Amino acid sequence: MRAILLLLVVLGTGPVRAQATLENSSRSTTGYISADGRIENGSRSTVGYIREDGTIENASRSTIGYIRTDGTVENSSRSTIGYIRDDGTVENSSRSTIGYIRDDGTVENASRSTIGYAKGVRKEWAAAVYFFFPFP
Strand pairing category for 89-92 and 38-41: unpaired
Give me the chain's average pLDDT, please.
81
Decide which of 69 and 4 is more confident: 69
User: Over pLDDT 70: what percentage of the chain?
Assistant: 79
DSSP state of 40: E
Confidence of residue 7 (pLDDT cuts 50, 70, 90): very low
- Could you report the per-residue pLDDT of 55-73, keeping only the tens digit for each? 999 999 999 999 899 989 9
> Residue 73 class from Cβ within 10 Å (0-12 exposed, 13-18 middle, 19+ buried)?
buried
| Predicted local confidence at residue 95, as pLDDT | 95
Beta strand extents in the chain (DSSP E only): 19-24, 29-34, 38-41, 46-50, 55-58, 63-67, 72-75, 80-84, 89-92, 97-101, 106-109, 114-118
Q: What is the mean pLDDT of residues 47-56?
A: 91
